[in-house]
Amino acid sequence: MDTELNSLEHRAAVHAALGEPARLRIVDLLALGDRSPAELQAELGMASNLLSHHLRTLQDAGLVSRHRSEADRRRSYVTLERGGMAGLLAAATVAAPRVLFVCYANSARSQLAEALWKRASTVPSASAGPHPADGIAPGARDVAARHGLDLGGSHPEMLVERVRPDDLIIAVCDRAHEELPASVRLHWSVPDPVAVGTAAAFEAAFSQIAERVQGLSARITAA
């Protein structure tokens, strides 16, 4: 009975949090990627104190979380907690001829995202970075192999040489997102496993990216 009551209370809190158009709009925006409060404020045309109120309400309901940027510690990003949103997200789709995953060095997160996307979607994908490393991080190859993905002969690519004007760009790291010029792109704020260097860090990054790919791939159609 206690479990049932807790479930009812949680569901009531979720519905209450989403029963305001502005908060529902915030959730829709976060469904595709993470946003900073400033980005949300610009998108919504909302005063910062009102946005803070809405974000606190969503956070208290367990629908969003906030964390500091790995690049500019003055920034923070808001992430949708998908576990609390099952069956509640809008079913809108986006058309794109290709998905381009970008991270700073194109040595781990973006490579994993590209490989996972190819397994989940028929929409073509690629990856690149503004500062490509000399090779793919061994930890990325290891975690890919543990999950049945072969990164094969992949190697880091220079972003300016790979990007196309009509790509749907997804930055999978804070450094790339904050360095690139303002443009239409999505942002997945995934912690850098290379900086930590442990198998657990690569597993955590892989799990986050796999969840994001699974959620987004159903909403992207070929242009």
Same domain, 106 and 210: yes
pLDDT at residue 87 in the model: 55
CATH number of the domain that residue 16 is part of: 1.10.10.10
Same domain, 72 and 131: no
What is the tens place of the pLDDT at every residue in 55-72? 999 999 999 999 999 999
Same domain, 115 and 70: no
User: In whole angstroms, what is the distance from residue 186 CA to residue 96 CA?
Assistant: 13
Same domain, 127 and 149: yes
Same domain, 121 and 207: yes
User: In whole angstroms, what is the distance from residue 29 CA to residue 27 CA?
Assistant: 5
Same domain, 42 and 125: no
User: In whole angstroms, what is the distance from residue 40 CA to residue 47 CA?
Assistant: 10
pLDDT at residue 183 in the model: 73
pLDDT at residue 185 in the model: 85
134: its two tokens = 């000399």
Domain count, the chain: 2
pLDDT at residue 181 in the model: 83
User: In whole angstroms, what is the distance from residue 190 CA to residue 34 CA?
Assistant: 10
CATH number of the domain that residue 200 is part of: 3.40.50.2300
- Residue-wise DSSP of 51-67: HHHHHHHHHHTTSEEEE
Helix axes 37-44, 48-60, angle to 10 degrees: 120
Among residues 45, 65, 47, the alpha carbon closest in space to that of 55 is found at 65
Specify the higher pLDDT residue, 52 or 183. Answer: 52
Same domain, 98 and 57: no
Q: Is 90's pLDDT higher than 60?
A: no
Range with the lowest mean pLDDT among 37-51, 78-92, 99-113?
78-92
Rg (CA), the chain: 18
Same domain, 44 and 129: no
Q: Which domain holds residue 76?
A: 2-85
